[in-house]
Amino acid sequence: MPGISGLRAWWRERPPAAGAAVLATGIVSVALHLTGDETLSLVFLWLGCLAWLALAADFCARLVWRRQRWLADAGTPGSLTAVAATAVLGTRLSLLGRQTLAEEFLAVAVLLWPVLLYLVVRRWERRMPGAVFLCCVATEGLAVLAATLAAAEVVAWLAHAALVLFWLGLVLYCVALPRFDPRQLWQGAGDHWIAGGALAISALAGVKLLAADSARLYLWNDDDEGVLRAMTAALLVLCLAGYLVLLVAEVARPRPAYDVRRWATVFPLGMTAAAVLSGAAVLDVPWLRGPGRVLVWVAVAAWLAVAVGGVLDARAGLRARR
């Protein structure tokens, strides 16, 4: 069975950064839900869940039978996509009304987060690629899911925990920023976009925290809400500015070749769209809905392009092995 053995060999060589594909698929599903394209959103949700199950099985298999490989992979920034992807899929499940399943996803993400964060941060170096910001993305992903569940189930302590994670994520972004190599804007293979995606998911976390407050769940006083609203608005502006900078860099120096790190480009595109659409409602800026819808379809187009590139790359790799 040379075809099956070749597929297994190709799968074993899959880098941890492949988790960004699940993250990208999950956030595109969330963004499509916000535009009301529910059927297409569910298609992306199912694709994301199937990919998550495959990667989760591989994660456990490496942990049990290939411990050294697991430790080597867990120390790379890309391993934190496991936390972020789990949180984003959990958020979409919560929006679908599957609160118990979303809670289970939150529990898995919370268990993975401190272990992987420690293993990654202790190996930080100077002049790192955009994946260095995944420490922020993973933390803010937990904040987004926790705040979403707090609103859905009217649980105050979960919202307060999400607030702590929100501010911790911003601290981690500030710590990671000096280690990011700015030359990645011109040389990066796709994961340099995470610098903007981390701001976008932080803005979305702020929006979810504001939205969690209600008459049934009094969370923030006027001062707290004012600070949170101002910070969320600032993050939204920063993520849009970062989007433009990264887009200009792509146009100035195109990098059309497929790379698995291109999934880390799709994620910020979808996350920015979701943050803009959510912020339009919560921050009472209705004119943002138009640009937000455009950004959603840009993310969908990018997802399709990268998916086609991934399929062609996998076929070429399998043929080479045969």
Mind listing the domains of the chain with CATH numbers?
2-315 (1.50.10.150)
Give the pLDDT confidence of 209-234 residue by residue, as tens digits.
999 987 677 788 878 889 999 999 99
Least confident of 6-20, 27-41, 137-151, 274-288: 6-20
Contacts of 313 (CB under 8 A, 6+ apart): 258
Tell me the C-alpha distance between 181 and 253, whole Å. 17
Which residue from 292, 252, 254, 258 is spatially nearest to 274, judged by alpha carbons?
Answer: 292
Give the pLDDT confidence of 170-186 residue by residue, as tens digits.
999 999 999 999 999 99
| pLDDT for 12 | 52
Q: What global pTM score does this model have?
A: 0.92
Give the pLDDT confidence of 73-104 residue by residue, as tens digits.
777 888 899 999 999 999 999 999 999 999 99
Reply yes or no on whether the pLDDT at 6 is more than 60. no
Let me know how many helices (H) and strands (E) the chain has, helices first: 13, 0
Are residues 126 and 65 in contact, defined by beta-carbon separation less than 8 angstroms? no
